[in-house]
Amino acid sequence: MKFTPFFGLLYFANGLGIEIESIETRVVGGYAVDLAPSWLGALVVVNSRGEPDQLICGVILVSPHVAITAAHCIFEDTSIYRVVFGVSSRDDLPKSPTKIENPASIKIHPDYESPAPGVLLNDIAVIIFKEKIVEYTPIRIAKFLPYGENSQQCQIFGWGATGKSTNGVLSNGDLPRQLHTATLEVFSNEHCQRFYSEYTSFVNGDIHLCAGSVNGSVDACRGDSGSPLVCGTEVVGLVSWGIGCGEPNLPGVYTNVLYYLEWINDNEMVNTDTGIAECACGLSRADRITNSQKAKTDTWPWFVLIAKSDEAGNYRQVCGGTLVGTNFIISAAHCFVFEENVSGYNFIPTQRYRFYLNFYSKRDLSNARLATAEWIKCHPRFSQQKRGIYNDICLIKLKKSLPCDSKTRPACLPTKTPSEKKVGGLSDLFRSTLIRFVMRLASVI
């Protein structure tokens, strides 16, 4: 059988000298789509006039200024690439309302390699845009894999071949003009290893996913490279490689995007227009936690332990907090407002407070990141009454910004009050109060 990267260009070598062979391309067992998802882009090569000329791979927008694709789609001269959004048909490329973006930079994963013909490891690349994409909505990266207790129907999208291979060889045919999609199953690592029992040294359960159908009726194929495997409203994988297309008991092999989340985050931080580091919020190494399991170091990079000193200078924990920017923390007002200080927008004394991040146990803070406050301001209508505590929130500005990496990273603030009565354990009243309070302090921030 023949190993086949799901790629659709003419035969030539990419920047790592890995040869990719030409063959016709399509989604096997799918159907045409009239409207492309807002987060789906097309990687195209431009002609000598700078116009989109050839669609070669799929691209997934994962933040307003970062997209991901397969590393084997990228070649040494990155100036030839453009990303086009709003493409449902190949015929859309030169037309509006498509949006053509010229990438500021393209980075291939440093460990990308091909240990055998057609077999790809760490097959992922990030595309960074100079300006934020505001017309199209990014897709979230899944926090857990869609099998076992998280099992669900998943879809692939692509402009690749729609026919099956025979003994690993595809029949000739024209590329479909229209974007296609198909519904398939994501197999567990155990099943994936069983399918590829002869090739277990190539199929890695951490970096790879297997998806398709046991009988081969649904699969990705040549030309679908870099296209997304989507489960629900989250992206799980990137089309990477396989043995033939639509072969029984040989599902397609996908790049497991979750495994590369930290690497994507690290590349997402640089604003290519200003050169200033930006910090993407709400991203962590967290696995699903149930029944109050112990969290690992780096699991929640926005969690803050707040300690206060006594008269002897000994610090003890008084509260927790949440990092909401590289130099801002929110916490409860009752942690700071006592009889000896004043509530409202008057500054609360900061000298006795310390803020610790990135630690495993509060009994050992020797390796934690330590921050101190420039000022602490609490909600002007904070009050403690017999019926409860109201407007219980403070904003703390740190003297120095914290590094933005896997160890310290801010949580995301909501942009609007959710319609549900409870989201993430917080009531609408609390969230709307938080939003209004932070907006009211915006002039100070």
Give residue 106's identity as a one-letter amino acid code. Answer: I
Task: Take residue 74 and report the two structure tokens written for it.
Answer: 């990228």
Q: How far apart are CA 150 and CA 231, in angstroms?
A: 10
**Is 65 part of the annotated catalytic residue set?**
no
Torsion of CA 197, 141, 134, 78, to 10 degrees: -40
Q: How far apart are CA 265 and CA 260, in angstroms?
A: 9
| DSSP string computed for 327-395 | TEEEE-GGGT--TTS--TTSPPP-TTEEEEES-SBTTB-TTSEEE-EEEEEE-TT-EEETTEEES--EE
Q: Are 226 and 43 in contact (CB under 8 A)?
A: yes
Q: How far apart are CA 206 and CA 234, in angstroms?
A: 18
**Is 298 part of the annotated catalytic residue set?**
no
Q: SS3 for 90-152, per residue?
A: HHHCCCCCCEEECEEEEEECCCCEEEECCEEECCCEEEEECCCCCCCCCCEECCCCCCHHHCC
Q: Are 125 and 107 in contact (CB under 8 A)?
A: yes
Q: SS3 for 37-78, per residue?
A: CCCEEEEEEECCCCCEEEEEEEEEEEECCEEEECHHHCCCCH
Q: How far apart are CA 341 and CA 438, in angstroms?
A: 21
**Is 123 part of the annotated catalytic residue set?**
yes
Of 123, 219, 224, 392, catalytic: 123
Q: How far apart are CA 421 and CA 430, in angstroms?
A: 11
Of 63, 88, 114, 225, catalytic: 225
Identify the H or E element spanning 35.
none
Of 72, 180, 208, 379, catalytic: 72
Beta bridge partner(s), residue 361: 364
Q: Are 382 and 391 in contact (CB under 8 A)?
A: yes
Q: How far apart are CA 223 and CA 23, in angstroms?
A: 8
- Residues with active-site annotation: 72, 123, 225
